[in-house]
Chain A
Amino acid sequence: MTDEASETGGKSPRLTRRGVLALAGTSAIAGCSSIDSLGGGSKATINTYNLPDISRDEERESPVPPSVPVTITSGHFDATRERVRSLLATLPTPLGPEEIPNGHIRKHLTDAASDATQGLGDARTARTGLMALRSLRRARENARYAAAGWGVVDRGLTAAPLRDEYNRTVSGARETRQEHEYVGADPVRAALVHARIEAGLERATDTDVRPREESALLSVAEWGETAEAAQVYLSDARHIRAQFTASLPPDAGSVRQPLTAAAKALLADIRDQQSTLAPEPNTDDRTPGRMVFDELRREAQSGISRLAYAIGPASAVVDANSQLARLRALDRIQTRREAEELARPSDAKTVRDIRQTAYDALTAALESSSRSALARTVLVDAGHKVMAADRELTHHQGEIAASTLDRSVADYWYATALARSASAATQQTVQALEGD
């Protein structure tokens, strides 16, 4: 079944033998309960044994990894890996109590070194080039954290040169940003690539840096990490820009104007829709249907509504696309609530169906969208919801109240509605970009 079908029903929840026994035991202890009273409503229970079999130990990843329509060169990856290795090579082996007697501080450095090594491995198995870049960025940050922390012990390193290095990188990133030209041919691809560049340069110039005072050594380590992070963001943004530019035909011109015009048009539509949002329900019911409605409504209200609030025209377009998808998702959820289709599931099979529906919606949306790279940005968010819902499901054991699963159910519904809204929203965005 799909989650479009009514899940309210008057049927009693399907009980497993294990569930009946467990509940019977409870009844015996309580001395006054009746097994017959278990069906439906807020008192329904679900045996987690019958829920989807999701491994608890598994490092969960979003089913839709983010990507950028640019080829990252192996040379860029290799240079980053080499940087990580050279930073890690500055550490003594082993880094033990003789080198750093304070176990807490030592653990931070060894954990960071271990995470850096892990990041190198993650990059090799990353599903997209962008994911590989992220893994390697974290690897570099961690390696620098460990190296800078050890530098305090080894050679009296202080935060001052690291702050200077960071400030130089920030200046470089600002210059890069000012000089940035919005070259492109296909405005959709250009929007996606330039949005990544804008985001990278924004992060590289993020001056809200406040290392903690917990430890002087760890503070220096954090400055090292911060300086490295800014470098990586800037380096990756420049590489993406260079690769993108190299992939364009010689006559490619500026797409700033179509990006800006599309962003303005889309945001104007978003403002209109925000002004006519469905009112907040007066009732104070806490059901999964209400939870997903409230969350989408809140997000639809709080997203950017003016170009000036965006970090750049390309990001404004991509953000607007996500916003439009959320507004459509909100409509879907509202319609389903009014049709009373979003009642709390009272048996495990319905929960399994709701989850499967979310996965199916994601798959269908990925396959059907003609502009999947842009739709994908919405589906990445929907995928995160599914991932969060899956993770939440693994936290429960035994016979539990059906309401315990509200958060997961709400997230599956959210993901389903968002995935099914991605294509239409993307069509609207593409039309705006292409001036149709």
Chain B
Amino acid sequence: MVPSTRRTLLHSVCGLATVLAGCSGVFESSGESTRTTSKNNDSSAPGTGSVSDPDTVVTRVDADRRPVWLDDGDGRPTESPHTRRLESEVIDTTSKADRVTAAEDVDRSLIRTFLDETDFDTETVYVQTVMIEECFRLTLCQIRWTADNITTDYGRVSRPYDEPCTADKEVYAVWLIRIPDTVNADDISSYSSSIGGNSCERQRVGAEGESGDGSEAAPSSDRRTQIGGEQA
């Protein structure tokens, strides 16, 4: 039996499902090969849908304040003890996309390209910024949206043992997720996010992670994916 301290730690770091900012991990990539869009299917109301493998850009930055933000003339948000562990923004217009700003240590061109490639007449970009533990990786299992709510579900695993990282240290992870639907930011009244205690490989083929024998699978080479921060 794992001693209570260690086991408790494992479970408390991230339980079966942690809503919103209760838990975090290291975001990684999502590929395109297994995309299974179900937006506006027969069982869904108009303006609702879900995607298990949307187009994404992910960046991870060791910083003391948010590395990607929506410029409102006040500059980059300052560090604060009250900083929320999860911030969400809905980018629903080109003009709003132009206000998305990234710090110098972020690969701005990838973010800009991702936004520029988005057709805001038919698509929306959902930006989630999360404080996560450096030694963990998250995979996006699914994003769901309705007229007034956006939900993301992540799976969480430890990074491979041979990747350098510091226990209990936190970094910022920023996900840009393309929703293949028009979502009006003003109509969104709530966001929710869950993080499962395991990877979402069972739900989604192709998620990266450690293989069963302890050797490591290579990160996705998806051109849309950036593994930033200390791995860059």
Contact = CB atoms under 8 A, between A and B. Distances in A.
Interface of A: 97, 100-108, 111-112, 115, 138, 141-142, 145, 152-153, 156-159, 212-218, 220, 222, 225, 229
A424 B199 CA distance: 53
B5 A156 contact: no
A103 B198 contact: no
A216 B211 contact: yes
Given A115-B6, A218-B158, A101 B163 contact: yes
Contacts of B168: 103-104
Most buried by B among A142, A157, A214, A217: A214
B180 interface: no
B218 interface: no
Contacts of B160: 102
Given A111-B6, A112-B6, A152-B214, A101 B197 contact: no
Given A152-B161, A152-B214, A216-B213, A142 B167 contact: no
A220 B166 contact: no
A153 B161 contact: yes
B164 A102 contact: yes
Nearest to A111: B6
A170 to B, nearest CB: 16
Interface in B150-200: 156-169, 197-199
A229 B1 contact: yes
Interface of B: 1-3, 5-6, 10, 133-136, 156-169, 197-199, 201, 210-214
Contacts of B162: 100-102, 153
29 contacts: A100-B162, A101-B161, A102-B158, A102-B159, A102-B160, A102-B164, A103-B164, A103-B166, A103-B168, A104-B135, A104-B159, A105-B161, A107-B167, A112-B6, A141-B2, A142-B2, A153-B162, A156-B213, A213-B157, A214-B158, A215-B158, A215-B161, A216-B210, A217-B158, A217-B210, A220-B214, A222-B2, A225-B1, A229-B1
A383 B190 CA distance: 48
3 closest A-B pairs by CB: A104-B135, A215-B158, A216-B210
Given A101-B164, A158-B212, A213-B157, 4 more contacts: A104-B159, A141-B2, A212-B198, A217-B158
